Amino acid sequence: MDERAPLQSAPSPSAESARHERVRERFVAFALRIAFAKLIRLPAVFLIGIAGFLLILAWQSAPQRLLEARQYAGHVSIADGRIVESWVALNWRPDDMAADHLRWYAYATAEPCVVVEFEAGGQWGAERRAFCGNRMPFFEHDTLDALREMAPGVPFGWQRDARGLAVQELRVSAAGRAWLETHPPYSTTFAGKPEPATALVALDRQLNRPVDAAVASYSAPLPAFPVAFDPGAPDTAMPRARVESRRRFEAANWAVLALFGGIGLALWFAGVGLLLGEIPPRARFMLSCVPLLTLPWWSERFPDALRTVSTDVAGIIGDMIGGIDRTGRVVGASPGNATLAHGERLVYTAGREPYAATFGRLALPRLDRGTGDANAALQALTSATATAMRALPLADQRQMLAQLFADKRNDLTGAGLAFVPYARETLLHDSADAELRAAARRFLAEWVVQPIVEPHRSDPDFEARVRLYRQLAEVPIPEIRIMARSVADRAAASR
C-alpha cells in the first residue's frame, strides 16, 4: 500500500493561508533588509574610509619609501630641464555641493603642475614629462603670485609674456567652468563692494593683481628644473630634489606601519563585513582582500571610489589623505596624463581688464635676470613705470592719471601702487604741465583715502612699500602728507 498522500487538484484553505503568510514574511524580511542596508551603508562606508586612510598612511610610511629607494637607485643621470608649460589644477566637483551652496572654495584644492623638457642624451634626445605637486586648500583671498615651489626643493614657475611678466593659468573641469559661469559669487566676500556678475568674474578679480604679479616676476626668473632619471628609461624621470630625498630609506617609520596598518586592517574588514553582510563569509573575505592587494595603485584614487557612495565621506577622507604628505607630494606622468592636462584653461595676464587702460598700456622693459629681492623688484617696477609714463604724450598721461583716480574710487587697487612715485614726482615738479600736476594731485589724494592699500608684514616687498609711503609723506599737501604718514607709521608698528 502506498502511504504517500495523493496530489490534490486544489489547495486546502489552510494551505493557502500558510502560503500567503510565508509570502508576507518574506516580503517583510526583504523590506527590512533594504531599510537596514540603507541604514548601515553610511557607517560602513565611513569605516572603510577611515580604514583606507590608515592603510594609506601605513603604506606611505615604510613600504612605499622602500620601493622608492630601490626605484630611484638607478636615477643617476642628471639634466637641467626647462618648464615649457605650467598651471594650477583646481580639483573641485560641483556635484559635491548642495544646489544652493555658493562657497565652492570649501570644496576645492589647488595643485601646481608643470611640463618639463630636458635632454635625455644618446638615442633619446629631448624628452618631456609632467609633474604635479602638493594639493593645498584654495581660499577666497589666495593669489598665485608667490607660488615658487610645488614641493620642498621642487621649483615652480609661470610662463612669461613679452614684457617678462608671469602668465598665470588655472585649469578646471568643464563642469567646474560651467558652474562658475552660471552662478553668482559668494556674496560675503564682496561685502560693501560692487559684486561681480558671476563666480568666474569674481575669481578673475581675486587673481587680478598686476603689481603683485610684476614684483614676483621681476624678483625671480623662470627657474631651471633639475631632473634625475634612469639612463635607460628617461620617461621615469623625477625632480632631482625628490629623488635625492627618497633615496634615504632610513626615513621610513616601521612603527607607523605596524600600528596604523593593524588598526586599518581591522576597520577595513569590519566595514566591508558590515556593507556586505548578506554575502557568504568566504566570498566576503575574498572581496575584502582583493582591494588590499592593489593598495599601491588606488591610494591616489581612493576618495574618488568613495564618492560613488557618499560625497561627504569622500570629501572628509580626501582631506585626511591629502594631509598625510601635504608638503612632499610629487606625481610624475606623461604630459597628457597630468592632472587636468586637458581641462578648461583660465589664462590670466598682467594688465588685463579692468587695468588694460593703465597698467596694460605700460611699455615695461623685459628683465632677463631677476633682482633676487622683492623690495628691489618693486623699486625697479616703479622706476620703469615712471619712465614709460614720461614717454607718453601729455594728453595720454593725464588720461591715465584720471583713470587711476576713477579705479581707486571703484575699489580697483591692483595697479595704482606702481604709479604712485611717478605721480609724486609730477606733483613736485614745478615746471610740469599744470593740468598734469592737478591730475597727479587728485590721484594721490584719492590713493591715501580708505580703503587704503596698506603694507603688511606678509608682503615680500613690505620694506619698499613702507618706503614709498614715507616718501609720499614728504609731499607738502596736508591731505596727502598726513594720511601717507599715518599709513607708514601703522605699517612700521605692525607685528
Q: Please state the three-class secondary structure of 435-465 as a single string.
A: HHHHHHHHHHHHHCCCCCCCCCCCCCCHHHH
Q: Could you read off the pLDDT of 362-382 as tens digits, one per residue?
A: 988 887 666 689 999 999 999
Q: What is the pLDDT of residue 372?
A: 81
pLDDT bucket at 2, cuts 50 / 70 / 90 = very low
> Of 159-173, 251-265, 400-414, 460-474, which gets the smallest average pLDDT?
251-265
**pTM > 0.85: yes or no:** no
Q: pLDDT value at position 257? A: 82
Average pLDDT score over the chain? 85
Per-residue model confidence as pLDDT tens digits over 107-142: 898 999 999 999 998 778 899 999 999 888 898 888
The residue among 209 and 43 whose pLDDT is bigger is 209
pLDDT digits (tens, 9 = 90+) for 194-205: 678 999 999 999
Mean pLDDT over residues 309-315, rounded? 73
pLDDT for the residue 89: 97
- Residue 4: its pLDDT value, please? 44
Share of the chain above pLDDT 90, in %: 52
349-370 mean pLDDT: 88
Q: What average pLDDT does range 430-443 have in this prediction? A: 93
Domain ranges of the chain: 74-233, 353-493
Residue 24: predicted pLDDT: 61
Distances (CA, A) of 67 to 59, 130, 238, 246: 11, 21, 15, 9
Give the residue-averaged pLDDT of 51-67.
83
Q: Which residue has 581675486 as its cell numbers? A: 206
CA distance 363 to 213: 16
Q: Indicate whether 9 pLDDT > 80.
A: no
- β-strands 77-91, 166-172: how paired? parallel
One DSSP character per residue, 354-383 reads TSTTTGGG--PPP-SS--SSHHHHHHHHHH
Task: Determine how many CB atoms are found less than 10 A away from the CB of residue 372.
Answer: 11
Could you give phi then psi for residue 423, rounded to 5 degrees? -65, -40
Comparing 450 with 275, the larger pLDDT belongs to: 450
